[in-house]
Amino acid sequence: MLPIGPLMIEHRLIEKMIKAMENELHRMETEGTADQVFIETAVDFIRTYADRCHHGKEEDILFRELEEKAMSEEYKKTMSELVDEHRWGRETTRELLEAKEQYQQGKVEALPTIVDRMAALVDFYPKHIEKEDKRFFIPVMDYFTQQEKDAMLKEEHEFDRQFAHQKYQNVVSEAENRFK
């Protein structure tokens, strides 16, 4: 399996969450209310799974290794765009959470911002994933030897193994801090 195999599999799960967000977006627009628990779940998924885990592997493993390669200008530009898109996703997710918190405090005027930020994420992720899947991941694998691909795949598996521990260490730390 190529080291991008797990990344592409992760894309399928992200697509499912984006579809659920799209469904919630339609419900919000129809009913004029926000489901705060759903938004918190979506934000947690994007921050934890899509960004820290998935984008973490892209940036900390694949992109790091590609920086060492004599890539074409086209692929250098695409990789830079992908990193910028990851930053945009983080910022948009933060804005969604802030709007949800305002809504939770009774500020119903935050609903249009919630709808706008969720719509932006629903629109963004399929295009971002398509760019990675079809125009970047597969062609850049030609820059690597099989041994390099195997080493990256091993590092991705180690990243995943450590990631679960890190996530739950953070959960415990947050729970402990709650009572300080």
Confidence band (pLDDT; 50, 70, 90) for 6?
confident
Going from N- to C-terminal start, the domains of the chain cover: 4-178
Question: What is the second-level CATH architecture of the domain 4-178?
Answer: Up-down Bundle (1.20)
What CA–CA distance (Å, rounded) separates 125 from 14?
Answer: 8
pTM of the model: 0.88
Residue (of 2, 179, 39) closest to 116 by Cα position: 39
Per-residue pLDDT, 35: 94
Per-residue pLDDT, 20: 93
Q: Where does residue 32 fall: left (phi above 0), alpha (psi -120 to 50 degrees), or beta otherwise?
A: left
Confidence band (pLDDT; 50, 70, 90) for 1?
low
Confidence band (pLDDT; 50, 70, 90) for 179?
low
pLDDT digits (tens, 9 = 90+) for 94-147: 999 999 999 999 999 999 999 999 999 999 999 999 999 999 999 999 999 999
Average pLDDT, rounded, for the chain: 91
Q: Is the pLDDT of residue 169 over 80?
A: no
pLDDT digits (tens, 9 = 90+) for 39-72: 999 999 999 989 998 999 999 999 999 999 999 9
CB atoms within 10 A of CB 99: 23
